[in-house]
Structure 1
Amino acid sequence: MNHSGHTRTYRAEPVMDEAGRLVDVRVHVDAKVRHIAGRSGPAQEETLLRSWREARARGANVLPVFLGAGMGGAVRTLLDETAHDEFPTPVAVVDKEQPILDITGLRDGLAADYPGRILFLDDDDPKAVLADLTRWQINHGGAPLLPLAHPFYLRLDSDYYPPLRASLAASGEVDFWARTRYPKFRNEQPRMLLVTSQYFLMGEIEAACKRLGVPHRFVAILDEEIGTNEFVEQLLTAVVEFRPDFVFTINHLGVDREGVLMELLDKLGLPLASWFVDNPHLILYLYKKVVSTRAAIFTWDADNLATLRQLGFDEVHYLPLATDPHRFRPPNSAVKPLADVAFVGNSMVFKVGHRMRVARPPKPLLTRYRQIAAEFGEHEERSVRRFLETEHPDLAAHFESLDTLERRLAFEAMITWEATRQYRLSCLQGVMDLNPLIAGDRGWRITLRHDPRPWRYHHELSYYADLPGFYPRVAVNFNATSKQMKGAVNQRVFDAPAAGAFVLTDWREQMDRLFEPGAEVVAYRSPEEAAELAQRYVRDEPARKKIAAAARQRILAQHTYDIRVSELLETMRQSFG
């Protein structure tokens, strides 16, 4: 069956010489007898190479694509002639004629004789063949495709091979990179190419794109693939086929430290939008070569705007977190109460230990790390490195002595997580008399092992499977923000009210621009105030419900991921359209 939908049957039979060697294939089709080689077989196959030899003589870098394997002479000649080049020429062969291939044995024979140098394609659909050839072309540097069409095959299936030859010839006349430099932001909805990972937020972005009707496509990536040829090939294929207006990533995932991706995006004329929802200074620390005029940085923490601009980024924008009210929504019916007070969060015990093992800090830093973390947690400085330089210059020298970027980054993270560990523990002291339910890692058992007051432990909760149903079953959802974000609000402040639940959170400087204090959010500034507010709202269910309802109204109006995606799209259009 060929691609056009009609069945073309033919019978193929071998033609042997006196020594029993295959010299031709005789094909019976449409009441006619045709020969692949005929009397001028070797000379005919030699003429297939004329255009390739001319290109080679000009010094042109082309990728030969044989349409029909024939008797294999031309394919073998080309491969042999380039076998000793610095970069041996790869070859593609498009041949779907299985009855003939069964006789010649060329598919298996060529692959065995020239391992790794041949792409053999036999799909009945020419569009699928062209897509595979484009990926192959990308993998080999984007050189023009040069069709080498065997006359026998052009006659054998005129609906398949001649259109392929025309398409390949047309693509060969256009520079590959020119195909990628198309006008951007000309459509009503910008087209997003998403670099995807297991990070929870990407699911929210995808769902928002679907609801908004935003065209999007994924390039999946594993951590070990960052900067690899496989990732670059995926990206280029998506650019050619999908023609996005920009690439979107979270926390710079997919951006390699060496700057390969940013150089590639510059060559493509394709902007990058990177939304940081974790401390960018604990990530960009390692990326000295990724500052680009085509990179727009979005941060959930307004405190980072100035320092990100100091790194050299021109396009830096505030984009706070939000929630998906389709996932976090009030239950349809009454739920069984689970706790008066509950806290969901990591103890940071194991995170501190892990970073300590990576950082391997010298003794002066190691013996004082808890003191450093306590002071850093209370200080207005957002960077551990700058904090050491201004407050502990004697220790800053030991920090700079760490011999790799990874060790310095690990030490900064270690201090940040230790500051968070101490802070969360101090906040929880305010509600420990209320027998709180604490959901998180096993480090809480270590942290609170000496506290005589009763409390209950719950294992870690899944963000998607557990939290939407957890928040509405708690009277007061207690929140203590990480010290990686000293002024911003975290995810819980949006998720819990969206689920119809009340949240008592620590006061953050940026909170008042997102919610009306007292009416839409209740915040404490000390463990003592946390105790007072928690006790009050445990008893006052009407007040809890009123504040939670007001917060949810605000969230639906201003703080959903649909709104954030729309804001990001408009910013990218204004910046790069």
Structure 2
Amino acid sequence: METKIGKPAQGGSGTWEKNLCALKARPQGPDLLPEQPARPPQLHKVRLLTAGEYPSLQVMGQEGRRVTLHSSRRALAEAEELAQAAPIGKSRFIVALGLGLGYHLLALLPLLGEEQHLILVENEPEILWAALSTSDLSPFLAHPRTALVVSSEPRQAARHLQQHFAPRNGNGLSFWGHPPSLRAHRAYYQEVVSHFKPLREPASRALGLKKDKLKVLLINPDYFLIPEVMRGFQQLGHEVRLTRFHKRRDQGDAVLRRVFTDIRNFSPDLVFTVNHLGFDREGVLLEALHRLRVPSVSWYVDSPAIILSLYDGPKSDLAFIFVWDPTYIPEVRSLGFERVFPLPLATDPEIFSPPRARETHQQAVAFVGNSMMGAVRQKLARLRTARIFRFFFNDYEALSRLDLSAAWKPSYKMKAWRRTPWFRVLAGKD
């Protein structure tokens, strides 16, 4: 069942009243809110979906397509996964971009540090009304270190953040995006984030990029897409050299020495990598390239937030980040990388050219992908023979025989671990 557009959100008067009381009890200063209705208003811009196990919302995105903000089957699991990827410990203020029905905010609250603040930015008031009607947000609303910034004007939202939470031009803010909300209103959230650029030295002109033929150093840990990238550069007339290393066997220092040697011998105009592979967490390579005025390009074909959240080094105005999904752009920019652009996934038809099927498939939906079962089993087999792993695994296996369910959440019961496929493989039972 779903509510029709123009009908009040059907979340129960008790939920609305409870949230409204918690909202009215909040201090006035930190929040920026539209006028609060006394009862659930009619919803004209959003659609509340209640057919599944968990309520969800549909909104009209900026491109004229409806975007569903939560899974109706695994909304809580999605929220937990998103909370685990939040920039905890990076700064005092975490700015959540997008409310939805608030599942991810409630999941993040227990993970906040003692001095951390969680600030919500939402552009659509009707999403707030739908959430107040549907979800018990009282833990978030009653928390002393939370704030709500709800405004359809991105400049007004950014100005409010600057006045209340962002000393020194935004330093100290970490942005944490709700992907479906970013997908629906990408331009709004990008403009909000654009007002918070870290202070840095004035950029000087990059060297070599105005040449017709570039010398490109391609960092190659035998990762997929590297052959396609290399062929693409060569077809455009550029000279490419590979820096090879083994991502499992080679240590970080050895990789850095190899890259620095190739930079000295090849004098590249550009260093290119996929998923930041070859770049150290401390930023030694990026800082060296910055001093040499050599641009670097990293194309993310996975989640950049997970990878870059581990990066503690300095930023550079010559570091270019390309992401396969444009909804990642605000979050990556919030980490201090200013030059972030979309670059979708693709294939090289001369490398990947499957023959046409003789039979026509009539299915309306088809899945294209790889279960990775073979690769996972190979990695588990290698892990099972590792001496240090056996030491810890035997202890966990012994602990799993104990009844510790009272001290653990149901999803973490150790007895349940023994029934999982990966446990059976590691234990040598499959």
TM-score norm. by structure 1 comes to 0.28
Give 1 or 2: higher helix fraction.
1
Q: Which has the larger radius of gyration?
A: 1
